[in-house]
Amino acid sequence: MMKYSLQQLLLDIFFPSYCPHCQKAIPGRLLLCEACDRELYAPRFWKPDEESGSHLDGIFRFYHYEGGIKAALHGLKYSKREEYLSRIGEEVLFHRKDLPAFLQDSSAVFALIPTDPTRRAERGYDIPEAIFEPLCRALDLPKKSLLTRTRATRPQYGLSRQERQENMAECFAVADGVPAPATVILGDDICTTRSTLESAAGTLKKAGVKRIYGLVLASGHD
Ligand SMILES: [Zn+2]
């Protein structure tokens, strides 16, 4: 039976949600309309080539970084579209049936890629946290603040691959007094060149973490 409460029905009538891409009114509190979801939802697990010097044991993404996903992240980053915060988390939770096996590793600890503190303060919210909070709660996945930022970084948007790597190099440190877990799942919003995930994973491997997986809302890979 579909869980659709009277409260939700009234919310839909008086405060409808709109798809960030096609602006269609959508029922419930998901992020995308059905058509946009069908077009963009592309769950994929892959293992980066070891010859590329990757520190990651695998990456899972939910969506293509296009259309409504791109519009929602852009809106959250640059236009304070706070109405997307809870909906983006609900959208990820909605797709939990397709999750990768690494999320069932009982020794795994979930850690967010820390947002640049200045940008987080400007926005008043944290985007990766909003994306994964409902999922972590539903899976009972322990969350730890494992990483901190050692310095400010520029926004990655518009930078070349090499500039991104330089921008993110050595920008993370393991938080004081946190023992290294055997397996860490790193949560972030987007993965394009992997520079951010690799920088964080390199820091964690040096600290003794054995296995590191990336969990991202969207990526530009096919
Ligand atoms: Zn749509």
Distance 21 CA to ligand 1 centre (A): 5
Which amino acid is it at 196?
T
What residues contact residue 71 under an 8 Å CB cut-off, 6+ apart? Answer: 20, 21
- In sequence order, what are the beta bridge partners of 147? 174
Instruction: For the beta carbon of residue 57, count every other beta carbon within 10 angstroms.
Output: 17
Backbone angles phi, psi at 110, to 5 degrees: -95, 130
Distance 61 CA to ligand 1 centre (A): 20
Distance 215 CA to ligand 1 centre (A): 24
Please give the C-alpha separations between residue 86 and each of 11, 74, 80, 132, 195, in angstroms, as whole numbers.
15, 15, 13, 10, 27
pLDDT at 2: 54
Domain 30-219: give its CATH code: 3.40.50
Distance 86 CA to ligand 1 centre (A): 17
Q: Per-domain residue ranges for the chain?
A: 30-219
pTM of the model: 0.91
Distance 39 CA to ligand 1 centre (A): 9
Ordered mean pLDDT values, 10 residues apiece, the chain (222 residues): 71 84 90 96 92 92 96 95 95 94 90 94 96 96 93 84 88 88 96 93 95 96 59
pLDDT at 178: 82
pLDDT at 151: 87
Distance 26 CA to ligand 1 centre (A): 9
pLDDT at 1: 47
DSSP tag of 101 = G
Asked if 141 contacts 108 with a C-beta cutoff of 8 angstroms, the reply is: yes
Distance 37 CA to ligand 1 centre (A): 7
Distance 19 CA to ligand 1 centre (A): 5
